[in-house]
């Protein structure tokens, strides 16, 4: 049985039915994904925000090779190692100043679970055990596990069939008055606010202002509610600053990072907290934080993450992102004139074209592949967040393909 036939019959893919057509990949190098039929596609997705330096990078390959020869894995209960310490040190250095303690986990969703549990345990420890709810805004996405699903948009968050088993939280409209009202009314039950700063990802690819985020921070202070920022998509330079919250000049009490953390090499995420949060948790019964993944701080993942962050910091990443942003503004604006297009949004190295109607993903996917690019739309959104190493020529192939593929569809 050949590869695709077996895949169709036996393997699930993200948010897909069994049997959904998929393209077999044999290798990936730089910004190119090579299909089994020999075709090479320019990657517009950076494998969902993560492959910021491109595929098969010699420095990242070397980091993994070096680590695997000394220790691929060891449990983190009662043990520690250099890769974890190096990475934690780097994360503490590059994230907002107040964040000093790092909890490593395997995926973004788990980093969010950890953040939520920390916020609730913090409130329990300070003698507010009734504060167990979260407040967020509409159109968010924070992951696919149960705690994370419960703070995704309740309508378009892709999880509404589970709503009866999810924890019930508060959802503000995306304006500060609605947010303030809910906080005023319910702060006695709210442990934390959770938000994706500035750019909401899979919940709708929406951008909101730094001013909104600043107001959220001061309202959280006023009502003594923790602020969790989920920078799993926005972290590591994607929006133009190393972390999106820097634009608002604020720090969260708890920060989640993932996706680009390892440059897309391995699954790893981290939840960072202020000393205040971790000290309160550890100095009240039960005196420990109640979480501990089997593969916590995997040494291979930690080494490649540290190598990826160093690679980023040593590169002229600000100029790179700003060049990509400018080119996206210049080239995607043409799409706004098409009758099929509702909106064009750009932030840093992220370009979003929102269509009037939802897309038939399989058909549009094939149209993009025919043009030699890898772009995976969802709902009515075509979006790209390419590897930072993309050249202007490669980027214009992506934006040109978007324009042509939309143009070829029936107008709304
Ligand atoms: C992708 C994503 C997650 C979930 O991360 P996984 O690694 O897929 O579990 C959480 N929050 C945001 C903002 C994301 O973009």
Measured on CA atoms in the order 235, 236, 239, 244, is the torsion positive or negative? Answer: positive
Q: Which among 51, 104, 259 is the best mutation to test ligand 1's pocket, defined by most ligand atoms within 8 Å of the CB?
A: 259
Closest listed residue to residue 112, CA positions, set 163, 152, 72, 161: 152
Measured on CA atoms in the order 148, 161, 366, 14, is the torsion positive or negative? Answer: positive
Confidence of residue 412 (pLDDT cuts 50, 70, 90): low
Domains of the chain: residue spans and CATH: 3-56+316-408 (3.90.1150.10), 60-313 (3.40.640.10)
**Residue 15 among the catalytic residues:** yes
Confidence of residue 204 (pLDDT cuts 50, 70, 90): very high
pTM of the model: 0.97
Q: Which tens digits make up the pLDDT trace of 144-175?
A: 999 999 999 988 767 778 888 999 999 999 89
Residue 222 has pLDDT above 80, yes or no: yes
CA of 102 to the centre of ligand 1 (A): 18
- Tell me what the pLDDT averaged over the chain comes to: 96
Q: Which tens digits make up the pLDDT trace of 361-407?
A: 999 999 999 999 999 999 999 999 999 999 999 999 999 999 999 99
Q: Are 356 and 412 in contact (CB under 8 A)?
A: yes
Q: Which tens digits make up the pLDDT trace of 85-114?
A: 999 999 999 999 999 999 999 999 999 999
Confidence of residue 352 (pLDDT cuts 50, 70, 90): very high
Query: What does the pLDDT average to over 329-341?
Result: 96
Query: What does the pLDDT average to over 4-27?
Result: 94
- Among the listed residues 170, 208, 259, 265, the single catalytic one is 259
Residue 1 has pLDDT above 80, yes or no: no
DSSP letters of 96-109? Answer: -TTEEEEEEESSHH
CA of 408 to the centre of ligand 1 (A): 32
Measured from CB, residues less than 6 Å from any atom of ligand 1 are 107-109, 112, 141-143, 196, 201-202, 230, 232-233, 258-259
215-224 long-range Cβ contacts below 8 angstroms, 24+ apart? 215/176, 215/179, 215/180, 216/176, 216/179, 217/248, 217/250, 219/179, 219/180, 219/183, 220/183, 220/193, 220/253, 223/183, 223/184, 223/187, 223/190, 224/187
């Amino acid at each position: 049985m050949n590869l695709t036939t077996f895949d169709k019959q036996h393997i699930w893919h993200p948010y897909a039915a069994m049997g959904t057509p998929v393209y077999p990949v044999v290798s990936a190098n730089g910004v190119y994904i090579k299909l089994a039929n020999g075709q090479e596609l320019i990657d517009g997705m950076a494998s969902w925000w993560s492959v910021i330096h491109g595929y098969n990078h010699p420095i990242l390959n070397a980091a993994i090779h070096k680590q695997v020869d000394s220790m691929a894995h060891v449990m983190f209960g009662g043990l520690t190692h250099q890769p974890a310490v190096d990475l934690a040190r780097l994360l503490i250095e590059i994230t907002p100043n107040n964040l000093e303690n790092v909890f490593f986990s395997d995926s973004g969703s788990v980093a969010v679970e950890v953040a939520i549990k920390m916020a609730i345990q913090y409130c329990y420890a300070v003698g507010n055990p009734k504060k167990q709810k979260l407040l967020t805004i509409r159109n968010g996405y924070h992951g696919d596990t149960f705690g994370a699903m419960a703070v995704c948009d309740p309508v378009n968050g892709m999880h509404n069939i589970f709503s009866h088993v999810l924890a019930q939280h508060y959802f503000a409209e995306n304006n500060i008055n609605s947010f303030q009202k809910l906080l005023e009314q319910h702060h006695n039950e709210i442990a934390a606010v959770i938000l994706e700063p500035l750019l909401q990802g899979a919940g709708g690819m929406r951008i909101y202002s730094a001013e909104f985020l600043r107001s959220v921070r001061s309202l959280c202070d006023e009502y003594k509610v923790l602020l969790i920022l989920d920078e799993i998509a926005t972290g590591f330079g994607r929006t133009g600053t190393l972390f999106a919250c820097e634009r608002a000049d604020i720090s969260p009490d708890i920060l989640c990072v993932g996706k680009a953390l390892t440059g897309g090499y391995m699954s790893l995420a981290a939840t960072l907290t202020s000393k205040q949060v971790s000290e309160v948790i550890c100095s009240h019964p039960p005196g420990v934080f109640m979480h501990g993944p089997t593969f916590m701080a995997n040494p291979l993942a930690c080494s490649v993450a540290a190598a990826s962050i160093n690679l980023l910091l040593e590169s002229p990443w600000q100029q790179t992102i700003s060049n990509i942003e400018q080119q996206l503004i210049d080239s995607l604006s043409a799409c706004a004139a098409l009758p099929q297009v509702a909106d064009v949004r750009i932030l840093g190295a992220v370009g979003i074209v929102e269509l009037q109607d939802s897309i038939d993903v399989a058909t549009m996917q094939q149209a993009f592949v025919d043009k030699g690019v890898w772009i995976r739309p969802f709902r009515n959104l075509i979006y790209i967040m390419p590897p930072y190493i993309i050249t202007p020529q490669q980027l214009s192939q992506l934006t040109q393909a978007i324009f042509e593929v939309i143009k070829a569809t029936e107008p709304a």
